[in-house]
Amino acid sequence: MGYYDDHSSKKRSVAKKILPAFLGACFGAASVGGTLVYLSKPNVLSVKEHSVSAATTKSVEVHESSDVTNAVNKAADAVVGVSNYQTADLSNELSEASSGSGVIYKKSGSYAYVITNNHVVSGAKKLEISLRNGKKIPVKLLGTDPFMDLAVLRVDGSQIHKVAELGHSDSLKLGEPVVAIGNPLGAEFSGSVTKGIVSGLKRTVPVDINGDGQDDWEADVIQTDAAINPGNSGGALINIEGQVVGINSMKIAQAEVEGIGFSIPISSAVPVVEDLEKYGKVKRPYIGIASRSLDEISLDQAESALKLPESVRKGIVIETVEDGSPASRAGLKPYDVVTKVDNEAISSVADLRSYLYEHKQVGEKAEVTYYRDGHKHHTYLTLQEQH
C-alpha cells in the first residue's frame, strides 16, 4: 500500500497529461483517414502516383571536372610499368622477378627516356616497360645510382606519345595536395592513383646501400600521406598542375605507422638523371678516406688515444687514407678527427657523403677542419672524381 500511497498524486498528474495527448492522437488519426479517403477518389491517387514515378525514373547526368582529375589526365599516360626479368635458380629461362613503375621524362631524336628506381631494376637480365594501354616495350638500362635510388632507361621513341612535365620540388609547401601514380600491385593495378598532401619537406632518411648495417647515405625526401606501396616505386608524385615533383621510392613498413610515404624530390633527381643519361654513372667527388663516426668511439678512447678536448664530441675518425688521394695530398692522416668540411658540420660518414655529393663538384676545393693530437687544424684539398 505504501507504494501506491506515495505515488497516487503522481498518477493523477500523469493521467492529466496522457488524456489530452490521447485525444490529440485520435484527432490526428481521423485527419489522416480523411486524407486517405480523399486520395482514393478517382484521378487523385493516380495523378500522385504518376508524379512520383516520373521523379524516380528521371535520368540525371553529372559532369564533374576537378583539379585532381585534370592533373591525373595530364600525367597518367607518362607513367609506365617496369618489369624486371631474371633467371630462375635452376633454369636459364627468364621470368618476371619483380615490377615497379617509371616516368617518361624526355623524348630526343628516336629515343624516349624513363626515370625509375635503382632497386626496381636491380639484378635484371631483361627490362620492359608497360604503357597504359597494356603494350610492352623492351628497354635499355643506361645507368643506375644506388645512393639516390635512381635509374634511367632508354626506349624506342616512336611508340611513346606522352612525356611528363617536370615541376620544381623546391617550391612545394606543407599541406599542398599531391597525387601518386603507379602500379602498386603490378600490371593488374597499373595506373593507380592515390591522393594526399605534402606532409613534410626535406625529411632525412638513412640508407644502408650495401646491407652491412651501417648508414651510407642520408636521403632528403618529400614525405606524403598519399599511399605509396612497393609497386609504386619509380612512379610519379605530381602536383595539382600535373607536374612531376617527385619520384616515389619507399614506404615505412612498420605495422604501427601508416600514411607515411617518401618521394625523391625532382629538383634533386634531375642532375643525377642527366649524369646517368650521359655517362651511365654519376660523377661524384671524393676525398679518399675510410672513416667512422666519433659516436662509435668510447669517451676514454676519445680522450686518451685521440686526445680530443671535451668540447669535441661530433665528427668522423679517419681510419685509412688512400695513397695519391686528395686527402693524402692535403696531409690528412689516420686518427685525424674531421669535424667540418667548408662550413658544414660533419658527424657521420653519411653527413660527409651528403655534403660532397649534393654541394660540391669534381675539381672544386674544400676546406677541412680536423683535430690531431688535441689540436685544431685546417687544410684545403681539391676534389677528384670517384671511381
Backbone angles phi, psi at 64, to 5 degrees: -120, 130
Q: Is residue 62 part of a domain?
A: no
CA-to-CA distance for 251 and 253, rounded, in angstroms?
A: 6
> Over 60: is that where the pLDDT of 2 sits?
no
Q: Is residue 239 part of a domain?
A: yes
| Catalytic residue chosen out of the listed positions 83, 98, 101, 119 | 119
Residue 342's identity, in one-letter code, is D
Cβ count within 10 A of residue 229:
18
Residue 119 bears catalytic tag: yes
Q: Is residue 59 part of a domain?
A: no
Domain end among 138, 159, 180: 159
Domain end among 251, 279, 307: 279
> Over 70: is that where the pLDDT of 314 sits?
yes
Structural domain including 310 reads 285-385
Statement to judge: residues 148 and 180 lie in one domain: no
Residue 149 bears catalytic tag: yes
Give the pLDDT score at 231. Answer: 83
| Catalytic residue chosen out of the listed positions 149, 275, 336, 351 | 149
Percent of the chain with pLDDT over 70: 79
User: Across the strands, what pairs with 80?
Assistant: 102
Best-predicted range by mean pLDDT among 15-24, 173-182, 203-212? 173-182
Q: Is residue 358 part of a domain?
A: yes
Q: Is residue 116 part of a domain?
A: yes
Statement to judge: residues 74 and 138 lie in one domain: yes
CA-to-CA distance for 379 and 371, rounded, in angstroms?
A: 11
Q: Is residue 240 part of a domain?
A: yes
Statement to judge: residues 201 and 217 lie in one domain: yes
Q: Which CATH number do you get for residue 342?
A: 2.30.42.10
Statement to judge: residues 327 and 292 lie in one domain: yes
CA–centroid distance for 10 within its chain: 70
Domain count, the chain: 4
Instruction: Check if the beta carbon of residue 303 is closer than 8 Å to that of residue 335.
Output: no
Instruction: Check if the beta carbon of residue 170 is closer than 8 Å to that of residue 239.
Output: no
In three-state secondary structure terms, 2 is helix
Residue with more model confidence, 10 or 382? 382
**Mean pLDDT value of segment 304-323:** 92
Give the pLDDT score at 232. Answer: 87
Q: Which CATH number do you get for residue 87?
A: 2.40.10.10
Instruction: Check if the beta carbon of residue 269 is closer than 8 Å to that of residue 153.
Output: no
| Catalytic residue chosen out of the listed positions 233, 249, 348, 354 | 233
Residue 267 bears catalytic tag: no
Residue 91 in grid coordinates: 633454369
> Over 50: is that where the pLDDT of 61 sits?
no
User: Across the strands, what pairs with 382?
Assistant: 365
Residue with more model confidence, 373 or 217? 373
Choice among 29-38, 79-88, 340-349 with the minimum mean pLDDT: 29-38
Give the pLDDT score at 92. Answer: 81
Produce one character per residue of 370-384: b if its CB has 16 or more CB atoms within 10 Å, e if not: bbbeeeeeebebebb
* Strands of the 136-138 sheet, one edge to the other: 136-138, 126-130, 79-87, 94-108, 111-116, 150-156, 140-145
Backbone angles phi, psi at 350, to 5 degrees: -60, -40
Domain end among 247, 279, 311: 279
Statement to judge: residues 294 and 379 lie in one domain: yes
Statement to judge: residues 244 and 300 lie in one domain: no
Statement to judge: residues 220 and 238 lie in one domain: yes
